[in-house]
Structures are given as structure tokens and as C-alpha cells.
Structure 1
Amino acid sequence: MNFLRYVDLSHNILKYIEPGLFMNMDGSLLWFDASYNLLTSMDVTNILRTKQPGFCRADFSFNQISKLTNELRWECKEDTQFGNGGLVDFFGNSFSDFFDFSELGFKNFFLFGKLLYYTFDFRGNKWTCDCRFYPFALKATLFAEKLDRDIYYLKCHSPSELKNVSLPELMKSKTLDLLICNLSIADRCPPNCRCFYQPARTRTVVNCSGTEKTKLPSALPFKTDLEVDFSNNQISRIDNESVILSYSHTITSIDLSYNKIENLPDELFYKLRNTKKINFSGNKMKKIPRALQALKPCQIYLGLIVLECKCEDTWIQNWLPSSHSKCYNNTRMFCYNKNELVNILSMTNADLGCKFYSEYILWLTISLAVIVFILAVSSTIIFYFRFEIFIMSRKLMKYLQTSEVRLELYTYDVYISCSEDDANLRRWLTSTLVPFLENENLRVFLPFRDSEFGHPREEEIIETMTKSLNFVIILSEHYDDYSETWIEKEWKYAWFNYKSDSQREIVIINYDMLEYKDIAKKYLGAFLKLHSFIDFSNNTKRINEEVYNSLQHVHKTVRKKSNKSNYHNSFKNNVIELETIMESNIKLKHHDKNCSSSEL
């Protein structure tokens, strides 16, 4: 093959040439003639040669070739070399649609410049000059003045308006925008409409103007940059499921002028915010929705509109452009005023029927006043019953949530606050309630029994209450001044610990049948208001059990008390009981002495 120079296969019935035959052939084949055969396609690897320094002619003229192929998926690289080339003749074939260079291996069109010394003759074919021809024609304008090639002298066969027009003539007349591709119903073009893709202006046009349509179609072409024209029809409505809303993200221009549209949905304006041109002029608009403010005045054409203007239309005055604006005539709105048509921009608020206090402002004022009143009353009620609300919410939380109380957090289970001046009360505590609670394995702190001698009283109250889980407060009628001071401090610290720790509990025993108004501290009176207390007069038999059931209990292992501890507490209780009896006897002797003196 190194010495083969001439191959003539013309005037045969050759139908196919194997791809890659010439591209990788080593040798110096100067002339290859396959003209006047039955070839229908030609692979790019049989046109270009990378291993020969050059050739004279590759003749494929007068066949039936309609397309160029790339069956081997060959691709031109930056280091690919084609030598000095030669003439490739495709004269008189069946080409019509221009080929895509990227499919032929030239992903970058500028790599096509490597074929500088090649000459291609595609004359004598019936070329369709449409959108597929545009990319080549556009790039050719960059080289045509500096580089003359026969390929530039292609002539269009269709469409009819471009018949026999050559590529140089197209470039000189700057009519590349005539290179379009028509779309059919299969491409979702609506019936009786003309649709085409125009790459020179980067748009797809859907022209349904004057087709007597009464409603919008259900579909549009799946293309970007749609310019839709439905002007001069009989369309009367646009609903929320309209095709315009569905394709709003691809529509750049829409014309619905001179139809019978009376109302426009609010959603339409929000969907068309990015549309460059919107034309609704020449319709029968009766009302302009406020959603129109989503668009710019220069973005939409509404033409001349006559309205029954009201006060709520004052926003239109702020939206419309001034008379000096370039889009002043896009939308002009007039109102009936005293049987005359007046431009809305010239009308005052009084002309539009606005009052200083409109109904909206009146209702708004009333609503705000009602809200303020409700808030004030609610705040007063909440403040007045704040302690009751807090106690009820605490009880509700305990009912809904069950949490385990940790034993190590508390030294005492019960702290008892009572009047130490009442001998009968002390006797009941030391002989009945406290022994009962301690027998239930509860750790009880009784101040007049368990306080350390000589220890500062208030410090001891604070320290002990901080370590106590429950506070049993016994309300009595009479206190001396000294006892009342310490009792009120115990109440204060009991309430503070109760508020700060949701595990703690306060149990009120109404010893002297007091009412809430008799209690100086409102937070304790709140328990009486809510009837959350133990009535001593009605529970003499079951009071111990009721106190025990009202307490918050820790989860702990029951341990039997030591004899020493029992003996110690028993000793203390006996001493206190002895003191109580002696105090009662002293009071009785004083009483007898006073009676004897009276008799004398």
C-alpha cells in the first residue's frame, strides 16, 4: 500500500465503505474516486487522514449520501495532525440537513481550523437552511473575510424565502435570524398555531394570534425562552390551572391583547414576575388585583382601562409610572368622577371616596382596643390569682408527670412548722402525728424538739428547710410576738423552696378553722381558697393517714430504726410531754389562785 497512488471505483454499485479505512492508512494514496455509486452515508474517518502528508482528491460526488457519520466515535484532539490535506468532493449528493460538528468529533468548533488545507465541495445538494445550519453559519462569519473556501458557497434550497441564497449572501445581509426550525403538533405546538425555534434570537415562538381560540391550550413546547402570542382571539378567562401558570418559568414574553378577559387571578402576577414582556391591552378589565404590584410598570401593558374607582384603589396611583416615564403609555387608568372620565393620577383621596377614618381603621382601632382590654383584664386576673394558678399548675404537673425523687438529695422527709406556745398542739404532735410518720420510716424535723441549743435560729431554719422534702404547716389562731416572727420566716422559706423545686410539697393543716382572709401571707391563703388543706376538726381520726398521703415520698429501701434512735426520740418526746404537763399545771395553779383572791 506504500506505493499505491490511484484507486478508481467510480460507476459501480458501491453502497458502503468500512469506517477507518483511510484515516489510519500508511502510504501515499493521492487519488481515490468513488463517484457515481450508491453510497448513502460516509464516515468521518474515511474523509480525514492523519497518517498521510497529503492527497490530491477524494471524490464521492454523484452518490446518494445524505449524512456524515462517526461510527467509531473518533474525536479530534489538540495534538491531532491532518497534514496538507486535499479536495474532498461531495458534489451532487442528497445532503439536506446540516451536520453537527460535535457529533463528528469536533467538540470544540475551533479545532475545525486544523483542516485549513482541506477543501470540501458540498455544492449541488438541496440544503435546508434552518436552525441546524445556524451554528456553522455563525462561526463562518468569523473566518469568511480572511479565508475563502468552497464550503462557504453552499446555497439554500429551502425554505422558499431563502432558496438559492448562498452562505456569503446570508452573512452579508445579516439575515441569520431567518434560520429557524418549525415545530409540529408532535413538538406540542398547539393546533392551528405556528411554532418555531430561532437560535439567532435565542427564543421559541408560539404564534396563535388570530386563530379564534376561546380558551388557552393545554400544552406548549418543552423549550426555554418561550415567546407566546395569543392576541386577537376570543379568550375570556385565565384560571389558576392555566397553561400560562404551568409554563411561567419558561415564558419570557406573553401577548394576550385584544381578547375578552375581564379578571386576572392574583397568582398570575406572582408567577410572571420574571417574564420580560406581558401584554393584556385591549381587553375588558373591570377590576385590577392588587397583586399587580408584584410587576414593574414597564414590564406589563394593560392599555386603556376604565374603572369604578374606590378608596382601596389608591395603591394604583403609587404603582403607575409618572408622565415622564418611557412606559407611561403602557397602562393608563381612568375613573368615573361626576360623569366624567378622569385619569386616576389626577384624582385626590377625596375624589376616590376616602375618609379620614375609614371603616378599616375603625375596625382596626376597635380590635386593638378589645385586645388591650382582654390583655389588661387577663393580666389583672393572673396577678390577683397568681398564687392559686401556680399551685394548681404544680398539682397538674405532678398528676401528668411522674418523676422519681432521689433519696440522697434530702436529709429530712418532713419539716413541721407550728406554734410552740400551744401545749395541746405540742402534745398532739409528739404523741400522735410525729410517731406515726416516723413509724412509716419518714425522717421528721420538729423544731422545738430537734433544734440544736445555742445555734442561730434563722440559719438553722434555712439550712434545715433546704434539706427537707415536705413542709407541714399548722395554722393556729394565736401567736405571741416572738413566735410569730419565726413562724412567718418558716412560711417564707417553705414557700421559696416549694417554688424553686418541683419535687417539694406543702401540706396545710387548718388547726383552728381559719379562713383565707385571716392569713397575712397570701401564698398560704391561696391553699385555703383552693380548699387544698386538711381540716383538723373533721379529721381527728384519719388525720395522720391524710397527712401521710399528702406528702411527697422518696423511693428508698425501708430500714428498721435502731433501738438507740428509737430510745433517743422516745426520750425527747417524754421530756416534751412532761414539760407540757408541768406548764399546764402551772397555768391551772395561777387560775385557782386568781379565783381565791376574787372570792376574798
Structure 2
Amino acid sequence: MFNSTCRHCYLTFQAHLINIKLTRKWTNQNIILAFTLLTNRRVDPVEITNVKGTESMLLTDQEFNSTTYFRFVHSHGYLKQLPRNICEFNIVFMDVSYNLFQNIGNISCLQTLDTLKMNDNRITYVSNKTFAEMPKLRCVDLSSNKISKLDFNILNYPKTNILHFYLNTNNLRQLDIGNVLVPNNTICRVSYKNNKYPIKISNIKNFNPKESNTFLCGNIDFSNVRLNIHPYMILGTSPGELVRYARCGKLEYRGAKYDCDCSAAEFFNLEYSEFYRIFGNQLISSTCQDPKPLRGINIKDLFYNTSLHQLMICDVQDGCPKVGNCKCVCTSHPITDSLIIDCSNQSCKDLPDVVPDTRHRIVLFMEGNQIHSVSSKYYFKYVKILNLSRNPIQSFDESVQNFTNDAEIIITDHLLDSLPRQVQLLDPNVFRFGQNGIPCNCDNRWIGEWRKFKEVRYPLFCSNFDNVLIEDFISHSTDCDSKQDTTLAFYSLIPLTIFIFLIWKLRHLRYDVKVLKSQFLPIDKNIQRSWQTDVYISFDEDNDDVRWFVFQILDKFCCKRELSTYIACRDSWPGRTDEQNIVMNLQSCKYCLIIQSSGMYDLDKTKSCTNRMEYRLAWNLFTDKRLCKVLVINFDKSKTEDFQAMKTKALYRLGMGFKIFDRKRSLHEKLLDVFNEPLVTNVKHIRQRKRRISA
């Protein structure tokens, strides 16, 4: 599409203009060419060196300079190549029509050339480099040759500014869109009229005006040519968008015949003024070639006869679903902005996973199949109509929200028990349920509220009541209100229950937190220096079995491991009370070992108060980081839950407890694991203690 009011192609030169006329004189197989000035002043001849016309040279003794411009005219001759010294002249206009040229040759040296006429020769091919680097070339006429191939992008090659390009009456079979449209440029006229063969339009470089800030402008003539597709349809741009890029210019299809299928129908949704400009301004003699029902019908008549538009369709093969027995038929119907995919009565068990690429809305016919569930598909947002009648539909998944409010979903004969709550994002009129309903119960009450809130045109009945709409059911469902209140009360108790449980759990685990804190926090070095004994052993001195175990097993094991021990009945200082001995010696020990046995903490026992005091003090020193570790040993499956039970359980949970009767683990290994660092002053401390006792 190009501006019809372009500036004239020919340049006006103020310098001297000399006509070069080639007149033939036969002299011993040589052709003599002579320059003739406009003033008819004679010049020396130009010699062509053979009669075949493949070798020639322009000769002159006339003086000329860089400001002298020439017209070179030699038509109806036998030239096959241009004169080899033609680059020495500033040629502005060259007419070598009606000769024997089979190719254009290298003319890039003719930097001043404005017009090239090589019509009615024997040229078969034009390269996209032929006119490169010739910025002053404005008009090219290659009509009535034998051109069967054009490189792409001839009109938009670097430094190419051709305004008029004529290729009438040639042998083209394929034409790239780059030789029809010139992005961001304006040309006066491009003509391919009266081509001898049908032309197939291609798009080698996938040019798309939407991908750049592009405009198209110019006049194109395809009169009396049959095309496989309208040139603009190859761009992948809808006609409505194309109007934005095609700002001016027009197409001419005088006497053209082309397929009036879906590709032509794309333009029939335009206003007639735009259709007239873009589709062709000479419609009177342009007719349809295919399909058969439209053959011979004038394009203008077809545009206004809307009853025939439904025949302007195309069968779509690429991407049309065909899986097993489920074989679909796909038809493009641009007039209704639809891609129709018909999979009816094909034993399909699911919707197609893939559909053809299209710019139109999808109409999917799936009636009479065996589809039980509608699952997510990527094309839901493009669906215009989905017909699922005569299918045992039992469920939709949450992807139903991907449909738009413009969609129409027909699910008569369904077996639905409910709908996914995501349908609340859609208008209820999207669905056509037919006479089959869904159960009206408390769980589906929200469906009635959804439909009642938005005005509905199509009914949804209760399957468990006769002729009752689901939106009418909600006004009579008083039982649901009471159940809802009960349910609300029940659910409101859940946060309170969780809160109470967390409070109880935090209280229950508060001792675990203290134990963890004591295990990982470092102990002050001054406190470590005050330690004189490794292990303080607390046990029931009245229990003979425990006493024997302490002296015969534990104490001997500690001695072997160089662990000093403090046993109250053996090592307490004479003259001091039990309380004084406990406080003084427990504060000077690194570890504390508590051996619990039955009745150890009973208040009616003599030593129970002492044992209780040892436990409390050991716990306090341990949590205050004055005691390195505490180990509790259960000697005889005693039940001591009544005394400091939560603290003991916390120690057991964090690896600071041991059961003698547990045969799966070794007591010695446990002792070494807990009491793993003996004091280096043990031997010295024992020697000093013995001296004090003897004194």
C-alpha cells in the first residue's frame, strides 16, 4: 500500500544533457554506434566488437566532465551485455528495451542512474544485490521478460530507494512479501499484473509489522493474477490491526481471480472503505476462483451478500486433534471469528490436549462422547463455545475459572453432584445445565446463593426435588441455618482449643528449655576453677542394694577412669550438718549423679529430706551454670513422679537419664558419655583430703 501521489521519478539536471543514440552500421562484422548531441554535433563512433552483441564499447573524443550527464538509449537491438566502459559516463536515463539481455549484470557503478528500462528482454533472475548501493535509482521497468525468480527484499536492500518497480507479464510462481511491502518507506507503484502463472505469496524472513514500529504505504497492482492468499494475510496480522500499519496506498486486483476462502473472509469484517482500499479498488472484474459454490461471483457482490459469507471457510489440518478413535475436524470461520473443532460422537474420553494455533475464538463440539471429568487445558481462556451435551460429566476441576464470562458451556445430560467453588468467579449464565439438576443440600447451598446474587437466564434444578430451582431452595433450607450455626460454633472453638493446648505444652516443656539452655551456654572460668571433685553421687543410703551398687561398681569404675567421687556417708566433713556438707561439696563438684530408687523421697524416711535437698540444689546449680551436667539413674523401676517429676522427665528427654534395667544400652558407656572430662587436680585433691581427715 503506497502513496498514490508520489513525486516524479526523473531528476532535472542543470548540467549539459547529451543523448546517446546507437545507430547500426555494418562494417566487416563490426557494429558502429555513434553519439549524437542534442545539437546534432558529430562525435566519433562507438564500436561493438562482435555481431553477437556480447562485447561493445562506447568511444568518443568529445570532452566531458563530472557534471555532464547522458541519456543512453538503444532499443530494438541485439545487445546481450552493456558496453564494458559504460561506468565512465554519468548515465541518468538508460533504455535498452527490446534487446537480448539474459541478465542485468553489474550496474552498481552507475551511481547517477535514475531510470532503468530493460523491458522485453530475456532476463530470468533478479538478485537483491542488483540495485544495492544505487541510492538515486527511482524507476525500474523489467516487464515482459522471462523472470521466474526474485530474491527477497529487493526493494528494501541497503541504499535502495526505488519508487516505481514494474514486473508485468513475467513467469513468477512465488513472491516474497518483502518484494510487495517496503517497511517504513513509501513507494509509488509496484506492479506484477498479467503474470503468466499463479503466484504463491511467501514470507521468508517472517516479517511482522507488530514486532516493530513499522508503517506500510504504497500502491500495488496484481491485476489479472491469481494468488494463493491475499499478500497482507501472510503477515499474521488481523485486518483490524493491519489498518493501523497500512496508513495509505491501495491494491489493484482488476480482473484477478483468487480463492474466496477463510483468508479472504478475514477482510470482510472491515468497513467497506477500508476493504475497498486494502483489498482492491478495482473489484468489478475480480471474481472468486474457489470454493466451487462461490466460483465466478464478483468480490464486491460477495462483500454485501452476507448469506454467502458462511461458505468462506478453510479446513485446518495442522494441529487438529486426532488421538486414537477421537478424531476431530477443524474449520476456520473468520466471519464469525471462530475456529470450529468438531469432535462429536468420536468416543473421546477427555478434551483435546492441543488445538490449532489461531487468532480466533474456539468453538469446541464434544457432544456424544464418554467424558466424565473436565480437567485443565491451556486454551480455556480462548473458548467461545464448549458443547458437552450427551456426556456423563461428573466433575469440573478448579481450572473452570480460566473460562471467560463470554464463554458458553453446554452440559445437558450431566451427572454432577456439585461444582467447584471457583465457578463463583464466573457469570452463572456461562453454564447451560438443561433439565438435569444437582442435589439441593446444605453443601450446595452456596451455588443457589451465587446464582441468586447474579441474575440468571438459564435454570438449574434440584435433582432431589421436582421442579424446584436451586436458588429457591435456599429460602426454605432452615435446617442448614441451624447446622451452620452449630458448625460455626464448633469451628470457633478450634482456635481456643489450640491456644489452650499451646499454653499447656509450653508449661510442660519449660524445663526442657532450661536444660537446653544449660547444655549449650558456656560456664564461667572462675566457677570452673572452684571445682575440686568430679562427681557428686546422691542415693538412698538406707537401701542396701543401692549402697552395694554405688561402692562396688560405680566408685570403682570412676577410680579406673580417674574420676573423683563424693559420697556423703563416706566423705562428709565431721562436725558439720548435712545441709552444710551438701551445699559446700555439691558446689565444688563438676557433675552430679542421682540414683533414684523406690521410696527414696518418702517423707517418713530419715534421709528423704537430705535426698530432696540434693536434687533441688543440683537442679538449681545446673540451670544456673554452676554445675556442668546432671545424670539421673533409675535403679529399680521406681515411680518417683510425685517428686520433681517434670524436671526428671525433661532430663530423660534430653539424654541426661538412664535406666539400669534397660539392657539395650551400657551403663559404663553412658557414664563416659556424660562424665567425659575428669578434673586435672583429682590426685592432688585426694591427697590433701586424706591429710585433713588424719589430722
Structure 2 residue 550 is matched with structure 1 residue 442: no
CA offsets 1:365-386 (integer angstroms, 9 cap, x no match)? 89x99xx9xx99xx89x98xx9
1:6 to 84, 95, 100: 95
Deviation at 1:5, TM superposition (A): 1.5
Deviation at 1:62, TM superposition (A): 0.9
Show the 5 A alignment for 1:130-279.
Answer: 131-132=233-234, 135=237, 138=240, 141=243, 147=248, 149=250, 157-159=258-260, 169=272, 171=274, 182-188=314-320, 193-196=329-332, 198=334, 205-208=339-342, 212-215=345-348, 218=352, 220-223=354-357, 227-231=361-365, 233-239=367-373, 245-248=376-379, 251-256=382-387, 259-267=389-397, 270-276=398-404, 277-279=406-408
Deviation at 1:131, TM superposition (A): 3.9
Corresponding position of 1:124: 224
Change (3 A) 1:122 1:50: farther
1:15 to 120, 124, 134: 124
Show the 5 A alignment for 1:58-73.
Answer: 58-69=165-176
Corresponding position of 1:341: 467
Instruction: Provide the rounded CA distance (Å) in 1 between the counterparts of 2:542 and 2:643.
Output: 20
Corresponding position of 1:591: none
Structure 2 residue 608 is matched with structure 1 residue 492: no
Instruction: Provide the rounded CA distance (Å) in 1 between the counterparts of 2:183 and 2:589.
Output: 87
Deviation at 1:18, TM superposition (A): 2.6
Q: Secondary structure at the match of 2:123?
A: coil
Q: Secondary structure at the match of 2:391?
A: coil
Structure 2 residue 469 is matched with structure 1 residue 469: no
Structure 2 residue 568 is matched with structure 1 residue 415: no
Deviation at 1:523, TM superposition (A): 4.1
Deviation at 1:442, TM superposition (A): 1.7
Instruction: Provide the rounded CA distance (Å) in 2 between the counterparts of 1:150 and 1:428.
Output: 113
Change (3 A) 1:433 1:40: closer
Query: Is the Cα contact below 8 Å between 1:183 and 1:189 reproduced in 2?
Result: no
Deviation at 1:265, TM superposition (A): 2.1
CA offsets 1:454-504 (integer angstroms, 9 cap, x no match)? 9996697278347421335695999999x8766532221224557898953
Query: Is the Cα contact below 8 Å between 2:339 and 2:361 reproduced in 1?
Result: yes
Instruction: Provide the rounded CA distance (Å) in 2 between the counterparts of 1:91 and 1:23.
Output: 25
Instruction: Provide the rounded CA distance (Å) in 2 between the counterparts of 1:238 and 1:461.
Output: 80
Match for 1:132: what amino acid? I
RMSD: 6.3
Query: Is the Cα contact below 8 Å between 2:532 and 2:682 reproduced in 1?
Result: no
Q: Secondary structure at the match of 2:96?
A: strand
Show the 5 A alignment for 1:245-394.
Answer: 245-248=376-379, 251-256=382-387, 259-267=389-397, 270-276=398-404, 277-281=406-410, 283-291=412-420, 293-295=422-424, 296-298=426-428, 300-307=430-437, 309-322=440-453, 325-326=454-455, 328-334=456-462, 337=465, 340-347=466-473, 356=482
Instruction: Provide the rounded CA distance (Å) in 1 between the counterparts of 2:96 and 2:248.
Output: 31
Query: Is the Cα contact below 8 Å between 1:412 and 1:443 reproduced in 2?
Result: yes
CA offsets 1:40-59 (integer angstroms, 9 cap, x no match)? 2323554468768877x543
Change (3 A) 1:48 1:469: closer
Change (3 A) 1:50 1:343: closer
Query: Is the Cα contact below 8 Å between 1:470 and 1:504 reproduced in 2?
Result: yes
Change (3 A) 1:46 1:446: closer
Deviation at 1:567, TM superposition (A): 4.7
Deviation at 1:287, TM superposition (A): 3.1
Q: Write 1 or 2 for the structure with the bigger share of strand.
A: 2
Show the 5 A alignment for 1:429-578.
Answer: 437-438=558-559, 440-446=561-567, 449=571, 461=583, 464-465=586-587, 467-472=589-594, 487-496=611-620, 503-507=629-633, 521=643, 523=645, 554-555=675-676, 567-572=687-692
Change (3 A) 1:133 1:321: farther
Change (3 A) 1:516 1:53: closer
Match for 2:274: what amino acid? M
Instruction: Provide the rounded CA distance (Å) in 2 between the counterparts of 1:153 and 1:455.
Output: 128
Number of matched pairs? 503
Q: Secondary structure at the match of 2:593?
A: strand
Query: Is the Cα contact below 8 Å between 1:473 and 1:506 reproduced in 2?
Result: yes
Q: Write 1 or 2 for the structure with the bigger share of helix.
A: 1
Q: Secondary structure at the match of 1:186?
A: coil
Q: Secondary structure at the match of 2:444?
A: helix
- Percent identity between the two aligned chains: 11
Change (3 A) 1:318 1:426: closer
Deviation at 1:104, TM superposition (A): 6.5
